[in-house]
Structure 1
């Protein structure tokens, strides 16, 4: 049971390997404009895993030259939301219910977010007409240090007819 987003991602997967990351990032940046404006780069997107990178550029920096806390929130929301969006059937609306971010250390360089679902979590989302799910995401900096511990709660409900 594929939804519209998973079909778009599958079509990007048919492109030459060297174009896929750029094409996927452009597509997702059009769907979620703020992610596109910030310059998020979608390196992997499946129902079970999403990896997104945000380069430490001037437009996303704070006053001390590292990636702004709000940009890290965008990174966490995007990684978990894109993955959840691939899983929720088209007859439902998906929204974020809660964001919890704990900033552990000052970040250095580019940031990477990795979110993942087990096969059981994917099946739960597909089988549950109205519900929510807690999605942890690991955010690391260029040194591989976990700088932010984040958990998002995504909810979905049937679309009104």
Structure 2
């Protein structure tokens, strides 16, 4: 199953070592360079689950000094992408189809982003990935879904 795919193998190898999670996060950001803008670090990765963190710093703040929601959405898209890559069954492929988010509170601290996929949902057609962003006190600041289109590899 997905636990034996290349992304999971790389995560399991690198995350064991000091600095390994940061190194893995940098590799993911090189694969999709726009992710570099938020400097997210992957903290946990399992099949159908990813947890990332971005630090509150000037580069991701808005005019009122909170973490800009677009930076949060960028981190959540990275969480979804690494989660999907680590989870997708052999013979399938995915592409994002849309994102729907609700801003539920101000994001005044570092932000944790979580992507979760129902393991039974991996089949051709639409697949909704649940995304959530929390501040360091556990307050939900963004919630939503990213819809993927799943198809068979040709």
Q: Same fold (TM over 0.5)?
A: yes
**Aligned-pair CA distance for 1:37:** 2.9
* CA deviations over 1:9-52 (Å, ceiling 9, x no partner): 23324x42x32321221121122212223201110111132111
Map 1:1-161 onto structure 2 (within 5 A).
1=1, 2-13=4-15, 15-16=16-17, 18-89=18-89, 91-117=91-117, 121-125=118-122, 128=123, 130-160=124-154
Displacement, 1:124? 4.1
Whether contact under 8 Å (1:139, 1:150) holds in the other structure is no
Asked whether the equivalents of residues 48 and 86 of structure 2 are also in contact (C-alpha less than 8 Å), the reply is no
- On the 8 A contact 1:53/1:110 being kept in 2, the answer is yes
Once superposed, what is the RMSD of the aligned Cα atoms? 1.9
- The count of aligned residue pairs is 152
Asked if the contact 2:106–2:141 (Cα under 8 Å) also holds between the matched residues in 1, the reply is: yes
TM-score if structure 2 supplies the norm length?
Answer: 0.86
Ranges in structure 2 where 5+ consecutive residues have no aligned partner: none
Matches of 1:83 and 1:113 in 2, distance apart? 12
1:91 shift after superposition:
4.2
Q: TM-score, normalised by structure 1?
A: 0.82
Report if aligned partners of 1:101, 1:149 keep a CA contact under 8 Å in 2: yes
**Contact 2:44–2:52 under 8 Å retained in 1:** yes
Task: Give 1:90 deviation, angstroms.
Answer: 5.4
